[in-house]
Amino acid sequence: MRSLVIIIGSVIVATSFNLFLVPHGLLSSGVSGIAILISLITPFKTGLLNFALNVPILILGFVKLGRTITYNTIACVISLSLFLYLIPEIAVVEETLLSSIVGGVMAGVGIGLILKYSGTSGGFDIIAMIVSRMSNIRVGLLLTGMNGIIVLISGAIFDWNIAIYTMLSIYITGRVIDTVHTNHIKLTLQIVTTCGEQIRQELLDSIYRGITITNGYGGYTMEEKQILMMVVTRYETMLIKKIVRKHDPNAFINIYETVEVDGEFAQN
């Protein structure tokens, strides 16, 4: 299922590039954008350039981010490069503004799906994740800064009209990614249960998150209970609730959105 979604996301991204962005000289974000930029001024194909530029970054990602994300990223990069090579570069819309909007939306949907299923499109995504873990700077801020460089380069090489259209496309892509991929939203869970140890053990075995446990008692029954507190991503809540209900069908679970996390938190 995960591999299928990553492939579908890659098809959507490749379609947005070759049918909407590339024919109008518009760029995309990240290494894919650099590949498009080079392809516009050289005879090399976008798909081959995208693959070549991602190889050293994938090696770095394997060392710094681990196997799961890297393997999914490799699958994405290979499929994205393949579809960029196979899909013809044909402008299906004549207006540049409309192409930048449609291309940005499609790219955002495709990349959002890839991120949602524990992959990345390679390139800047990997670099931003690594730098974020080392410096605690938000991934979105890092990507915005790096993509801004692409816009400046496109403006210098071509013209500022293209640069502005590119900036619009990148902005739309980012907004759509945030809509589809909500992994950046952190939730705090408070689990009140009489089976704290069993739940704690399975949570630690299943989810890479820290747990804080305190003892308490029910205000009405005076029964001793354990209170488990943990900060997780939205996608992890379903599995956590399943684990809790497995051991304690009567457990009380309080879930609320976390505004900010200051401290160690794995940015999966």
- What is the reported pTM? 0.66
Claim to verify: residue 92 and residue 214 sit in the same structural domain: no
Contact 173, 111 (CB under 8 A): yes
Claim to verify: residue 76 and residue 164 sit in the same structural domain: yes
| Beta-carbon contacts of residue 159 (< 8 Å; ≥ 6 apart) | none
Residue at 266 is within a domain: no
Residue at 70 is within a domain: yes
CA distances, 110 to each of 12, 173, 198, 200, 245 (Å): 5, 9, 39, 36, 34
Q: Which of 180, 202, 225 is the last residue of a domain?
A: 180
Claim to verify: residue 202 and residue 158 sit in the same structural domain: no
Q: Which of 180, 197, 218 is the last residue of a domain?
A: 180
Residue 54 belongs to domain spanning: 2-180
Claim to verify: residue 113 and residue 135 sit in the same structural domain: yes
CA distance 184 to 132: 13
Claim to verify: residue 41 and residue 133 sit in the same structural domain: yes
Alpha helices in 138-259 (DSSP H): 139-157, 160-180, 196-206, 237-247
pLDDT at 102: 94
Residue at 217 is within a domain: yes
CA distance 239 to 243: 6
pLDDT at 257: 84
Residue at 151 is within a domain: yes
The span from the first CA to the last CA of the chain, in angstroms, equals: 19
**Helix (H), strand (E) at residue 228:** strand 224-233
Claim to verify: residue 167 and residue 213 sit in the same structural domain: no
CA distance 97 to 266: 39
pLDDT at 205: 83
CA distance 112 to 229: 29
Residue at 267 is within a domain: no
- pLDDT tens track for 59-72: 887 777 667 777 88
Count structural domains, the chain. Answer: 2
Claim to verify: residue 162 and residue 192 sit in the same structural domain: no
Q: Which of 164, 180, 196 is the last residue of a domain?
A: 180
CA distance 199 to 222: 21
- pLDDT tens track for 102-134: 998 998 899 888 877 767 777 777 787 677 666
